[in-house]
Structure 1
């Protein structure tokens, strides 16, 4: 695949990958490995487990490429695949450790930022980030994940529903209720607006 024939859509890239184009497969990995790692580490703090699962997702893709259906949104497909595999691996490892009762919805979705971020950002922005995290701590795990998928990753309500295991109408209602609750907590001052323009750059309020 040369630059003159670079695919313009997920579907084109996916078709080239299915046809055995090695550069298309490399392009898939380059495009999505970082965002998959970011998502995976919000489900599990075990970074090596997350890396292993991402590797397995891509190896499975390559191994079964001839039997895969066409995909119009690769990121959504990969998020679904990674989450399913990661939760199965967590469940298996806990069972081997004698920990039972883990369900596919019993993980704790965490949104954090690193010490390095504190170093490179100015004091005001660091304060805003801490304020955001304080607000998010008032939400449950599923609510945090829904906000992340909607506003940080740009998924629509049906996609969010499939990733989180709820129905589409419920996903839309939950987003509304979450934002309403956060408005009540944060108030309507300028800091609140700054928080959401920072946390939700795709959909500034």
Structure 2
């Protein structure tokens, strides 16, 4: 659900949906819309600035990340995000080197979550129909990741996925569906490898 301010900026006076609102609603939209291009460009410029700073420039890096995500988080370079404004991360978030998050829809990540190197979390997708793809049609689906989730190196979280609390995602996994709390998952496509007990 969008805020009143966001609704005003994403819906035209005629009541017709803007491309941004279509994107957030998971409908076919035009990613080359000028408003969306401008917002992505802003995020790319901030990421570029962040990625060229020294790891010793801690305060500057935190300031840049706050500008991108609205809070201070621990992220290693390089880091890439589509918009930043649709990504919500809770406390104690950590992303290792080379993570990419395509937040063209809402991506919510809970507290104490760890992303290993080169994790990709993508809310973006394209139609299977080649005619629609050639037409430039794109659509999105939101992603929700619970608390205390650890995502292994080179894993991919696909559009529309929800992961429960305490999930561990094995390295190289491709997660195409939802998984409940307290499981270790892995493989292509990912499946449950074991349940996590209190032990």
Tell me the TM-score normalized by structure 2.
0.26
Higher strand share: 2
Higher helix share: 1
Larger RCO of the pair (alpha carbons < 8 Å, separation 6+): 1
Tell me the TM-score normalized by structure 1.
0.26
